[in-house]
Amino acid sequence: MEREKEAKKLKARNVIISGLQVRNDVCDTELVESFCEQYLTVKPPVVRTRRVGNNPNSSTMRLCVTLNSEETAHDLLESATILRRSTDITARQVYINPDLTKAQAK
């Protein structure tokens, strides 16, 4: 139970972004920041990004993005609903979700 609480606390600052076109000429942190600035109402300070998933050669790898606080992650998740109403097809294909523990995902 205690381990679950600690894992939940660590993941509270993370979001998972899927559908974002990964580019090799731009680092993932800059890619996320520029996407948020262009399509969302927030520009969150990104602490770290890492690619997650099985296929490292995929052009739309999922990104685990660590932000500076839980509040920033919450604001980004709230702002992500704008993407569903975007007129840009590439923005509508991007999903931003919370980083859940295995127990939370069930």
Cross-strand pairs, 67? 46
* Domain extent listing, the chain: 2-99
pLDDT at 106: 74
Q: Hey, what amino acid is at 34?
A: S
What φ, ψ does residue 59 adopt, rounded to 5°?
A: -80, -10
Rounded CA gap, 64 and 89, in Å? 22
Which positions of the chain have pLDDT values less than 50? none
**What is the 3 state secondary structure string of the chain?**
CHHHHHHHHHHCCEEEEECCCCCCCCCHHHHHHHHHHHHCCCCCCEEEEEEECCCCCCCCCEEEEEECCHHHHHHHHHHHHHHHHCCCHHHHCCEEEECCCHHHHC
pLDDT at residue number 58: 67
Structural domain 2-99, CATH architecture: 2-Layer Sandwich (3.30)
